[in-house]
Amino acid sequence: MTHPLSIQLHLPAWVPGFLARLPSALDSPEERMRVAISLAEANVANGSGGPFGALVVSTESGRVLAVGVNRVEPACCSSAHAEIIALSLAQQRLGSASLANTPLGPLELVTSCEPCAMCLGAIPWSGVGSVLCGATKADAESVGFDEGERSEHWIQHLQQRGIMVHTGVLRQAAAEVLQRYARGGGAIY
């Protein structure tokens, strides 16, 4: 049990083995998205959280800096989304609250689903230079997830801040993880 004045979020026990099997570099958007989708699938298969996965990767080298999976239910924490965990672990690893101007060059957030309202709010302050998304907000909402309010111009808003966005990468495969999770009776929140 944690102290009542602190919070601790942990990645599931299966994650170190998952990381050990990753290649040293993920060169293409599709390779990066396959990892995010695999994180989401493994999280569901292991019963360790919801059907969302994310990673922070060096845009130039393809080196993975951090990963995250949805831990909302097991952590009893509504902010324990995969993107928030991946960004937080990357910041902790670099010892900086900002992921801008790192020794690794620009960093990219790769997420198995477009960001919800909360995660979208965290992206500009995280310091990442780009975001790569799989499933869409509509895909998540079609199975019941509450993604919150988001401007229809969210991509343009991020681009105006210098953050490039690519969405729909391996969308069908990412959306299928959400659908299987819902069909399997997973908690929808």
Q: Residues with catalytic annotation?
A: 83
First to last CA, the chain: 24
Distance CA 8, CA 176 (A): 30
Distance CA 125, CA 103 (A): 18
Compute CA 139 distance to the chain's CA centroid, rounded to the nearest angstrom. Answer: 16
To the nearest 10 degrees (0 to 180), the angle between helices 117-126 and 82-94 is: 20
* DSSP β-ladder status, 107-113 and 130-135: parallel
To the nearest 10 degrees (0 to 180), the angle between helices 82-94 and 29-45 is: 110
| φ, ψ for residue 55, nearest 5 deg | -150, 155
